[in-house]
Structures are given as C-alpha cells and as structure tokens.
Amino acid sequence: MTTLHKTIEITADRRLNLSLDLPKELQPGPAELYLEFLQPKTATASDTLAGFAGCLKGDPVFSGDALEIQRKMRDEW
C-alpha cells in the first residue's frame, strides 16, 4: 500500500479540484481513493454539559427523593 499526502483548499462552491502526481511504482488500473477532512467538528448541545440535562429523568435508579438518593450514595463511600 502506498500513502500519499496532499493539503488542499475547500472552495466556497464546495468543489474539489485535485491533481496528483503518482509514484512510478503504482501500476495503471483500478485503485481506491480515501479522503479525510480534518476540520474541527462544531459542538452541539449534546456535546456539552447542558446536553446531559434531564437525561436521567424517568430512570428508576434515580426516582424518588433526590436528597435520600444522595445520602445513600455517600454512605456507600
């Protein structure tokens, strides 16, 4: 397997104009090309602490008196 690296610019029209000079040891014929885009992911609400708000609501483990649940957890320590 041969790995090639080329830094490209994504244009405003989201088109990729790409030309690669391949090594001579690669033979003509079918090949597979993989692209990896390394742009940072935009954070969503579920990626932040606020995204976890209310996620345990309705869970039987955490149903009942919240203060009593906290006391039981502390007693286990």
Tell me what pLDDT residue 43 has.
66
Say how far apart CA 75 and CA 72 lie, in whole Å: 5
DSSP3 helix / strand / coil % (the chain, rounded to 5): 25, 0, 75
**Whether this model's pTM surpasses 0.75:** no
Whether 62 is covered by a domain: the verdict is yes
Tell me what pLDDT residue 41 has.
67
For 15-33, the pLDDT digits (tens) are 887 788 888 888 899 888 8
Structural domain count, the chain: 1
Whether 10 is covered by a domain: the verdict is no
Whether 56 is covered by a domain: the verdict is yes
pLDDT by residue for the chain (77 residues), tens digit each?
777 777 777 788 888 877 888 888 888 998 888 887 777 666 666 667 777 777 777 777 778 888 888 888 898 88
Angle at 70 between CA 62 and CA 74, to 5 degrees: 130
- Its domain, for residue 58, covers 47-76
